[in-house]
Amino acid sequence: MTGVRVLVGTRKGAFVLTADGARRDWRVDGPLFPGWEIYHLAGSPADHDRIYASQSGGWFGQQIQRSDDGGLHWEPVGNEFGYASVPGTHQWYDGTPHPWEFARVWHLEPSVTDPDTVLAGVEDAALFRSVDGGRSWSELSGLREHGSGPYWQPGAGGMCLHTILPDATDPERMLVAISAAGVFRTDDGGKTWQPANRGLVSEGIPDPDAEVGHCVHKLASHPSRPETVYMQKHWDVMRSDDGGRQWYDIGGDLPTDFGFVVDVHAHEPETVFLVPITSDAEHFPPEGRLRVYRSRTGGHEWEPLTAGLPQEHCYVDVLRDAMAVDGLDECGVYFGTTGGQVYGSADSGDSWTPIVRDLPAVLSVEVQTLP
Amino acid sequence: MNATERSAGATSPGTGTGTDTGTTMIRLRLPTHLRRLAGVDGELRLDVAGPATLGSVLDAVEERHPVLRGAIRDHTTGRRRPYVRFFACEQDLSHEPPGSVLPPAVVRGDEPLLVVGAMAGG
């Protein structure tokens, strides 16, 4: 019987939400790793029993946990993320050089073909890979060393590599995004990288169309159309049709183009979901109304989706890794809030139901579609 | 191997020094998060070879429980994590160098060495 498993990372532990294909009745398990910050959990597309979790905290550093039975049991694996070379410096908030220091793993991206291969995006920004199920990690240092690294600056949340977007049709190609450096592209499996920020304009940096320095919040694409990439930037919702070489604005009639999440429908490459947030100064939905916006035209034209979502007195945020879609015939969409709610839609966003309401602040939401 | 973990209660307090093998039994208390991570309950008892110092005790517990590597001390620098503290005999040993010999009561096994997470915030 088909079903879904929603993996939720929060400020105080992880939760696993499971349902059958109808997605009406949910089982809630957790907290796993209680008291720890779980920035991200991700299931292997190659083996749905294999799940990786990034467990971290200000007191005891970074752990990577691995489950081989769908989240019932977990094992701590490798937690040593050593930069491959003398790290050097990047820009600090005040513009002075600051040594590169590992802080935490923000995002895990398991391989689509090998359960033991997984990429990790970390703060201070770098990309690591494990080919032994998370037991050891090696940096793909060509990203950090390609030349612009000394000019990267942290965003308010730290200088994090938060998005890893492999090209589903070509294992040599990949995009990553860093706050607040921007998008970078490799065409040779991570050996060499180029900035991919042409067309981005950011008023908060001295040169608005600089090659690097843009606060990109999230990227998303459809596996069948890897050259089409959607972006939620600090401000601006953008699109590229050539794998990030050139971007253009698709904010259109959105009430605000600030936000964090963006995701694409599982079966409709031109259907995109966002949760607009008022502004960089007010991290909550406009007018206290929680609305997902959907475009069925690849951008420009957006419709608010409100059925089942609070339309008054709602002042939560939806963070960059906290939205996901499932692959069932009628696409399910899920997102979590800083108020601890996880909402799900079993009809492509037309209607929403809170799966759970009172978790700790949600940092990430991923979903596995089960056979 | 320079450390052996004993089950709690295997050695009574006061027998921490002068073992036949030249090791010192040190009682070590970990905070909840680290006990869960290591999969242990209660107080640890570690046989530490050579002088019982902060550094040798941490080496011993990390050898016995490799999952704790990087959790108490930074992998790269070896420095104590900022919000981790070491207490014993009502003293804060957090700023002592790793080679500092532990207080006699800890070396004798009369008192435990405490690893404390300075919990704060929401």
Q: What is the pLDDT of residue B76?
A: 84
Residues of B with CB under 8 A from a CB of A: 31-34, 37, 67, 69-72, 74-76, 81-84, 117-119, 121
Q: What is the pLDDT of residue B118?
A: 81
- Asked if pLDDT for residue B119 goes beyond 80, the answer is no
- Asked if pLDDT for residue A33 goes beyond 80, the answer is yes
Q: What is the pLDDT of residue B11?
A: 36
> Which residue segment(s) compose the domain that B60 sits in?
19-117
The CATH number of residue B31's host domain is 3.10.20.30
Q: Cβ of B69 and A80 within 8 Å?
A: yes
Q: Cβ of B81 and A59 within 8 Å?
A: yes
Interface confidence (ipTM) of the complex? 0.84
Place of tokens 């997902």: A292
Structural domain includes residue B4: no
The mean pLDDT value for A124-144 works out to 97
Q: What is the pLDDT of residue B4?
A: 42
Q: B67 to each of A65, A74, A135, A271, how far by Cα in Å?
A: 11, 13, 11, 44
Place of tokens 């002075």: A96
Q: For chain A, give me the number of helices (H) and strands (E)?
A: 0, 30
Structural domain includes residue B35: yes
Window 328-357 of A: residues touching B by CB (8 A cutoff) are none
* Cα separation, A60 vs B68, whole angstroms: 9
Dihedral angle at the C-alpha atoms of A237, A238, A243, A246, nearest 10 degrees?
-150
Find the closest chain B residue to A81 by CA distance. Answer: B75
- How many domains, in total, are found in chain B? 1
* Cα separation, A352 vs A329, whole angstroms: 17
Structural domain includes residue B26: yes
Write out the two tokens for A309. Answer: 């979502």
Q: How far is A61 from chain B (nearest CA, A)?
A: 5
* Cα separation, A181 vs A202, whole angstroms: 11
* Cα separation, A211 vs A220, whole angstroms: 21
Structural domain includes residue B106: yes
> CB burial class (10 A; 0-12, 13-18, 19+) of residue A210?
middle
* Cα separation, A314 vs A11, whole angstroms: 20
Mean pLDDT of chain A: 96
Q: Cβ of B117 and A80 within 8 Å?
A: no
- Answer yes or no: CATH 2.130.10.10 is held by domain A38-315+331-336: yes
Closest to A26 measured CA to CA, from A341, A364, A258: A341
Which pLDDT band, with edges at 50, 70 and 90, does B122 fall under?
low
Q: How far is B67 from chain A (nearest CA, A)?
A: 7
* Cα separation, A230 vs A134, whole angstroms: 29
